[in-house]
């Protein structure tokens, strides 16, 4: 090889190498001087979380929760809904916080529009989300509390647990982790988080008087308060024209009441909660259910 | 009269369609059997009823008063008995608390007579009368009038504008009021000037109403008086000429800053019909219990300008106007640009209802929306210089909370953008969704 060229090549290598070394040392010094203190515990907690970033805990994503649960002593370790008990235990162990029970909950829709043959008041044309349709004179459905049916909850669910069947959301109990994103999304506020162990539920959230309900829906709650009267456990209340069930009291009383509320409801809107069947089905498949 | 004035930016020219009713004199609608008085007629917290079920009330009697926040009291539009304290259909809130009055057809209508010379009263006394008569901006916004007449001390007002633009298609209620009650509007203007303690008043009228301009000009000339400098100006026919900020810029050349009130540039704007109501309140001590509305559109058998009691149900109006035609496709409360489609006839007229439109399929556009093609027509049409297309795109992408950067709170939802959009995008709806989530 031409020695001139060889000299040139070697010279180039030396010059570039020196530049590289100079910047390398510079970067190393900078990294040392401006190092960001990070708490290794946060990293560890973050790794134990499911990283679904659903926001169900109320913090901005999994990292937000990890930082809060480590730095703020008042934040409990059991806020991760998708992680359930396993994650809560890990987080409690890592942060040294007291492990509190994780109740197995699920999102339920408090509306039966599909079977209730709720009347339509108009045809909606426009941006196809429930919130947008709700702006136009309360949406196309006559009942002001009924599901609009454009599937904004299904689109928002980070776990794909909601499927729209006949324009009505059907929640898959195996996929739902009760993160609460759908509860925040629904403009009619008909989705609730309820314990999996609930024995009964009322799939209607109307606050209208009985006459108005009769006019628009075949299965809506008419507020006759029969359920309140027959419940031996005083677990059913009627607040603001809405049936509210105290599930803890209902479960504590047990099945000896023969589910009088379900039997007596003249509109057949007081129902056995199918979540129990869900639990039974899950038990068959060997899936661990809490509680 | 000066040359046609207008605002500098944006605006659209929808078909005016005022021919259906502009030649029809105001008719007094007979008293319906029932009136439903919505408690939240104005912007702010609803009133609290002062009457009970089965109470007898006389025409103009107080039935509800303000217990918190801004607001004005409500009065019985006719003599009768209180049938129920329940709820009524509402164009925006779907249902709202209301008082139902069963009217008494036997009762003689109240007579309102000139009581005293308002010139002897102090501005404070006049202001109290305006408040006690339940007067709000009946052009559509529903802002309590007495609040607008008390501008903050740090921004003195030097000009009163009376808004007679009536730029919405179809509506001719203000037009007929100016034509038939010109003297009363001018007298109301003088009362407002006295309350504000200023001299200058400009009445702006779009020049598609030359008869109203002539009538108002001669009424102003006939009522010339020392201490009051009132004049009438013609405005170019362009929507939204009657929007407060656009009207101020067209007439005075002053630009109201973003999110500020007109008093920031020394101007107060009142609608001509509100001005006439102020005159009635002060001169006759008559509360705001009736208003002129336009019933129009090709879907109604007999279009009309009607003087109706507040609380009259649309179903009664339909009956009085000879029923609807079979090809009726949509009912809109308010104008076609800013009004609200409703799907019931059991909805009562409020103080802010200016028209009820019965539109047929060929008067509306029910094509489905498609994607934004970035043509920029909405930017040209927007009178506030906003970018409606960006707001729409952000809302569709699920990021409504990031739209404050496009000035979403400056949008007053005039609908010019949606009117010109070739992709039929519901841009006003997108803006409303954005306003729900964005932070100021």
Contacts (Cβ under 8 Å, ≥6 apart) of B411: B384, B386, B388, B391, B431, B435
Residue A148's nearest CA partner among A161, A136, A160 is A136
pLDDT score for A289 = 35
A215–B contact, CB cutoff 8 A: no
A241–B contact, CB cutoff 8 A: no
Task: Please tell me whether residues B134 and B251 are part of one structural domain.
Answer: yes
Sign of the alpha-carbon dihedral angle for A174, A175, A181, A185: negative
- Would you call A126 and B369 a contact, using CB atoms and an 8 Å cutoff? yes
- Would you call A127 and B395 a contact, using CB atoms and an 8 Å cutoff? yes
- Mean pLDDT calculated for residue range B91-98: 86
> What residue numbers bound the domain in which B231 lies?
2-20+115-283
- Which chain B residues contact residue A121 at CB under 8 A? 343-344
pLDDT score for A215 = 87
- Mean pLDDT calculated for residue range B254-283: 94
Segment B409-436, tens digit of pLDDT: 999 999 999 999 999 999 999 999 999 9
**Of B267, B283, B299, which residue is a domain's last?**
B283
Residue A259's nearest CA partner among A287, A232, A220 is A232
Using the predicted structure, report yes or no on whether residue B260 has a pLDDT greater than 80.
yes
pLDDT score for B294 = 97
Structure tokens, B226: 């020392």
DSSP state of A103: P
Residue B338's nearest CA partner among B357, B325, B321 is B357
Using the predicted structure, report yes or no on whether residue B188 has a pLDDT greater than 70.
yes
Interface of A with B in 104-163 (CB under 8 A): 121-122, 125-127, 131-132, 135-138, 144
- Would you call A131 and B433 a contact, using CB atoms and an 8 Å cutoff? yes
- Which chain B residues contact residue A127 at CB under 8 A? 369, 395-396, 426, 429-430, 433
pLDDT score for A103 = 79
Task: Please tell me whether residues B277 and B152 are part of one structural domain.
Answer: yes
Q: Does B268 reside within a domain?
A: yes
pLDDT score for A274 = 66
Given a contact cutoff of 8 angstroms between Cβ atoms, the answer to whether A270 and A227 are in contact is yes
Three-state secondary structure call for residue B419:
helix
Alpha carbon of B370: minimum distance to chain A alpha carbons (Å): 9
Tell me how far CA of residue B203 lies from CA of B3, B191, B269, B386, in angstroms. 14, 14, 10, 28
Q: Which CATH architecture has domain A105-290?
A: 2-Layer Sandwich (3.30)
**Of B256, B283, B310, which residue is a domain's last?**
B283
Segment B130-174, tens digit of pLDDT: 999 999 999 878 899 999 999 888 889 999 999 999 999 999 999
> In chain A, whose CA is at the least distance from the CA of B364?
A125
pLDDT category at B248 given cuts 50, 70, 90 is very high
Q: What is the CATH number of the domain that holds B185?
A: 3.40.50.11540
Given a contact cutoff of 8 angstroms between Cβ atoms, the answer to whether A250 and A257 are in contact is no
- Would you call B94 and A144 a contact, using CB atoms and an 8 Å cutoff? yes
pLDDT score for B406 = 93
Of A125, A127, A137, the CB nearest to B366: A125
| H-run or E-run covering B200 | strand B200-206
> In chain A, whose CA is at the least distance from the CA of B89?
A137
Tally of domains within chain B:
2
- Lowest-pLDDT choice from A273-287, B239-253, B261-275, B288-302: A273-287
Of A127, A131, A137, the CB nearest to B341: A137
- Would you call B430 and A127 a contact, using CB atoms and an 8 Å cutoff? yes
Using the predicted structure, report yes or no on whether residue B41 has a pLDDT greater than 80.
yes
pLDDT category at B73 given cuts 50, 70, 90 is very high
Q: Does B214 reside within a domain?
A: yes
Segment B349-386, tens digit of pLDDT: 999 999 999 999 999 988 888 999 999 999 999 999 99
Given a contact cutoff of 8 angstroms between Cβ atoms, the answer to whether A131 and A229 are in contact is no
**Of B230, B251, B283, which residue is a domain's last?**
B283
A60–B contact, CB cutoff 8 A: no
Q: Does B381 reside within a domain?
A: yes
Q: Does B360 reside within a domain?
A: no
pLDDT score for A116 = 67
Mean pLDDT over the full length of chain B? 93
pLDDT score for B123 = 93
Q: Which CATH architecture has domain A40-95?
A: Orthogonal Bundle (1.10)
The ipTM, to two decimals, is 0.85
For the residues of B211-265, what is the DSSP string, one character each? HHHHHHHHHHHHT-BTTBEEEEEEE-S-BTTTSHHHHHHHHH---PPTT--GGGG
Q: Does B315 reside within a domain?
A: no
Segment A89-134, tens digit of pLDDT: 899 998 888 887 777 888 999 998 887 678 888 888 888 999 999 9
Q: Calculate what percentage of chain B has a pLDDT beyond 90.
A: 83
pLDDT score for A99 = 81
Q: Does B189 reside within a domain?
A: yes
Residue spans of chain A under pLDDT 70: 116, 274-291
Q: Provide the β-strand partners of residue A105.
A: A195
pLDDT score for A275 = 61
Alpha carbon of B415: minimum distance to chain A alpha carbons (Å): 15
Alpha carbon of A83: minimum distance to chain B alpha carbons (Å): 26
Q: Write down the domain spans for chain A.
A: 40-95, 105-290
Three-state secondary structure call for residue A228:
helix
Q: Does B382 reside within a domain?
A: yes
């Amino acid at each position: 090889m031409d020695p001139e060229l060889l000299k040139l090549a070697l010279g180039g290598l030396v010059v570039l190498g020196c530049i590289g070394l100079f910047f390398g040392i510079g970067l190393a010094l900078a990294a040392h001087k401006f190092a960001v203190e990070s708490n290794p515990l946060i990293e560890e907690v973050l790794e134990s979380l499911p990283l679904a970033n659903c926001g169900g805990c109320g913090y901005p994503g999994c990292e937000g929760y990890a930082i809060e649960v480590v730095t703020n002593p008042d934040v409990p370790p059991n806020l991760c809904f998708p992680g359930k008990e396993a994650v809560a235990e890990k987080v409690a162990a890592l942060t040294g916080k007291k492990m509190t029970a994780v109740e197995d909950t699920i999102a339920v829709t408090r509306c039966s529009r599909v079977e209730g043959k709720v009347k339509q008041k108009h045809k909606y044309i426009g941006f196809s989300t429930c919130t947008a349709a709700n702006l136009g004179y309360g949406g196309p459905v006559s009942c002001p509390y009924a599901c609009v049916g454009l599937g904004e909850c299904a689109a928002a669910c980070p776990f794909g647990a909601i499927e729209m069947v006949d324009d009505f959301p059907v929640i898959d109990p195996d996929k739902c982790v009760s993160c609460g994103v759908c509860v925040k999304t629904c403009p009619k506020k008909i989705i609730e988080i309820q314990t999996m162990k609930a024995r009964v539920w009322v799939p209607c959230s109307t606050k209208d008087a009985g006459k108005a309900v009769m006019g628009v829906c075949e299965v809506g709650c008419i507020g006759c308060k029969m359920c309140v009267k027959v419940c031996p456990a005083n677990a059913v209340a009627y607040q603001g024209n809405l049936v509210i069930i105290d599930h803890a009291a209902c479960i504590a009383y047990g099945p000896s009441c023969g589910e009088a509320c379900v039997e007596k409801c003249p509109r057949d809107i007081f129902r056995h909660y199918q979540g129990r069947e869900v639990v039974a089905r899950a038990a068959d498949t060997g899936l661990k259910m809490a509680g | 009269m000066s040359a046609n004035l207008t605002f500098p930016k944006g605006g659209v020219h929808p078909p005016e369609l005022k021919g259906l009713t502009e030649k029809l004199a105001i008719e007094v609608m007979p008293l319906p059997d029932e009136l439903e008085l919505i408690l939240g007629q104005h912007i702010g917290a609803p009133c609290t009823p002062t009457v009970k079920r089965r109470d007898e009330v006389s025409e103009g009697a107080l039935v509800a008063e303000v217990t918190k926040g801004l607001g004005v009291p409500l009065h019985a539009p006719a003599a009768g008995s209180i049938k129920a304290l329940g709820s009524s259909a509402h164009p925006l809130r779907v249902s709202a608390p209301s008082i139902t009055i069963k009217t008494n057809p036997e009762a003689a209508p109240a007579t309102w007579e000139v009581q005293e010379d308002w010139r002897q009263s102090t501005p404070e006394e006049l202001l109290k009368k305006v408040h006690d008569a339940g007067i709000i901006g009946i052009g559509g916004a529903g802002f309590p009038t007495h609040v607008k007449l008390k501008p903050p001390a740090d921004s003195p007002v030097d000009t009163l504008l009376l808004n007679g633009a009536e730029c919405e298609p179809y509506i001719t209620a203000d037009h007929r009021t100016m034509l038939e009650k010109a003297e009363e509007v001018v007298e109301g203007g003088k009362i407002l000037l006295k309350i504000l303690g200023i001299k200058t008043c400009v009445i702006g009228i779009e020049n598609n109403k030359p008869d109203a301009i002539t009538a108002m000009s001669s009424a102003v000339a006939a009522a010339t008086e020392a201490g009051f400098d009132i004049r009438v100006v013609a405005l170019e026919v362009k929507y939204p000429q009657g929007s407060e900020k656009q009207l101020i810029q067209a007439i005075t050349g002053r630009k109201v800053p973003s999110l500020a009130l007109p008093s920031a540039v020394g101007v107060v704007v009142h609608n001509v019909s509100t001005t006439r109501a102020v005159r009635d309140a002060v001169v006759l001590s008559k509360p705001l219990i009736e208003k002129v509305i336009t019933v129009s559109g090709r879907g109604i058998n007999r279009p009309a300008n009607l003087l109706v009691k507040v609380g009259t149900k649309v179903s009664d109006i339909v009956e009085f106007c000879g029923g609807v035609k079979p090809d009726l496709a949509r009912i809109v409360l308010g104008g076609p640009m800013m009004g609200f489609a409703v799907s019931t006839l059991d909805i009562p007229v409020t103080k802010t209802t200016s028209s009820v439109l019965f539109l047929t399929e060929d008067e509306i556009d029910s094509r489905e929306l498609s994607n934004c093609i970035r043509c920029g027509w909405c930017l040209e049409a927007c009178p506030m210089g906003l970018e409606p297309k960006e707001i729409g795109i952000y809302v569709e992408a699920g990021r409504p909370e990031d739209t404050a950067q496009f000035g979403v709170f400056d949008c007053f939802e005039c609908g010019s953008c949606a009117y010109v959009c070739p992709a039929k995008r519901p841009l006003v709806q997108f803006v409303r969704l954005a306003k729900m989530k964005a932070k100021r």
